[in-house]
């Protein structure tokens, strides 16, 4: 049970490390083709740094909000949606509300027109018109709590203490360290248990052989022979298991037993 639990915990921690690693690689790769906006599983996470979307609507965005952008097809966007796009004038991604959509003769989106909710913004928005090629995605979630979280995990988000420079690597290294410590501890416990069991078996063998425990030379001589016989027996058992496994694989290949069968067919 302990061995099975050890493998389960180690496997989970390794999967967690692989997941974080995949997310990191995915975000780095996506930035090159997504105007510098990292994406993972079709979602991007951004931080609202300006007041252009401050307003009284349910999806207006106070400064410091965190937003989740989904890679929704342009054809599914409607007037009133909040979208993120690459604004060439600023040379950076921007997030504003759609005020108009222009289609081509085939009914495909050609351009978007957008505007920020805050007419009195520090950087006022008189409206933007941009090609669908600059479209990044639709906002599907926003909250100031999520914005605070992003200051801890995203290097792209401004933070007084630069939490992201050490926290994200820590998220990857911590499961690795836990897995290593747990594996070493489990191995040590298992070795101690096996040693204790071996000593008990040796003591029983000494008693059966009526060896005088005070005769050190006799005890050492008996222990040497006992260990040698034990090693031979373990080697023999390993060879038998190896032969059985090879035979099972052969029978599976010939279709005489299924992959669920543990024993060897009697055919």
Domains of the chain in sequence order: 34-159 (2.10.109.10)
Q: Please spell the DSSP secondary structure of 190-228, one letter per residue.
A: HHHHHHHHHHHHHHHHHHHTT--TT-HHHHHHHHHHHHH
Q: What are the two backbone dihedrals, phi and then psi, of residue 128, each rounded to the nearest 5 degrees?
A: -125, 140
**Cα separations (Å) of 111 from 53, 140, 267?**
21, 21, 72
266 vs 150, more confident: 150
Report the pLDDT averaged over residues 24-52: 85
The mean pLDDT value for 7-13 works out to 73
Mean pLDDT computed over 3-8: 68
- Mean pLDDT estimate for the chain: 82
Rounded to 10°, the helix 216-254/164-208 angle is 120
Question: What are residue 112's phi and psi, to 5 degrees?
Answer: -115, 145
Sheet with 109-115: strands ordered across: 43-47, 66-70, 135-143, 82-87, 92-103, 109-115, 128-131
The phi and psi torsions of 248 (rounded to 5 degrees) equal -60, -45
| Residue 53 near residue 82 (C-beta atoms within 8 A) | yes
Under 8 Å between Cβ of 77 and 106: no
pTM of the model: 0.58
Higher pLDDT, 8 or 80: 80
pLDDT of residue 264: 44
Mean pLDDT of 246-263: 70
224 has pLDDT over 80: yes
Residue 265 clears pLDDT 80, i.e. is over it: no
CA–CA separation, 212 vs 210, rounded Å?
6
* Cα–Cα distance, 51 to 119 (Å, whole number): 10
Q: Is 177 helix (H, G, I), strand (E, B) or coil?
A: helix
95-107 pLDDT, tens digit each: 999 999 999 988 8
Percentage of residues in the chain having pLDDT higher than 70: 82
Task: List the end-to-end C-alpha distance of the chain, in Å, as a whole number.
Answer: 35
Confidence at residue 39, expressed as pLDDT on a 0 to 100 scale = 86
Model confidence at 167: pLDDT above 70 = no
Torsion angles phi and psi, residue 5, rounded to 5: -65, -40
Which residue bears the tokens 């599983």?
41
Residue 66 structure tokens = 């965190």
Residue 110 pLDDT exceeds 70: yes
Is 75's pLDDT higher than 90? yes
Is 179 a residue whose pLDDT tops 90?
A: no
Residue with more model confidence, 26 or 74 = 74
What kind and span of H or E run contains 165? helix 164-208
Distance CA 26, CA 144 (A): 25
Is the pLDDT assigned to residue 45 strictly greater than 50?
yes
């Amino acid at each position: 049970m302990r061995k099975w639990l050890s493998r389960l915990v180690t496997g989970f921690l390794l999967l967690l490390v692989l997941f974080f690693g995949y997310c990191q690689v995915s975000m780095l790769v996506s930035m090159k083709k997504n105007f510098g906006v990292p994406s993972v599983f079709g979602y991007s996470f951004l931080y609202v740094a300006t007041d252009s979307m401050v307003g009284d609507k349910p999806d207006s965005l106070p400064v410091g909000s965190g937003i989740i952008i989904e890679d929704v097809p342009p054809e599914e966007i409607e007037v009133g949606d909040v979208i993120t796009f690459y604004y060439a004038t600023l040379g950076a991604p921007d997030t504003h509300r759609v005020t108009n959509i222009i289609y081509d003769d085939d009914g495909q989106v050609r351009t978007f027109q957008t505007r920020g909710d805050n007419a009195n913004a520090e950087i006022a928005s008189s409206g933007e018109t941009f090609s669908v090629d600059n479209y990044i995605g639709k906002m599907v979630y926003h909250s100031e709590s999520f914005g605070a979280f992003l200051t801890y995990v995203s290097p792209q988000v401004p933070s007084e203490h630069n939490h992201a420079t050490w926290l994200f690597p820590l998220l990857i290294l911590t499961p690795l360290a836990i897995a290593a410590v747990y594996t070493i501890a489990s191995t040590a416990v298992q070795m101690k248990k096996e040693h204790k069991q071996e000593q008990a078996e040796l003591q029983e063998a000494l008693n059966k052989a009526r060896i005088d425990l005070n005769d050190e030379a006799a005890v050492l001589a008996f222990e040497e022979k006992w260990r040698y016989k034990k090693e031979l027996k373990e080697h023999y058992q390993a060879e038998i298991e190896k032969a059985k496994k090879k035979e099972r694989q052969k029978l599976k290949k010939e279709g005489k037993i299924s992959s669920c069968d543990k024993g060897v067919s009697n055919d």
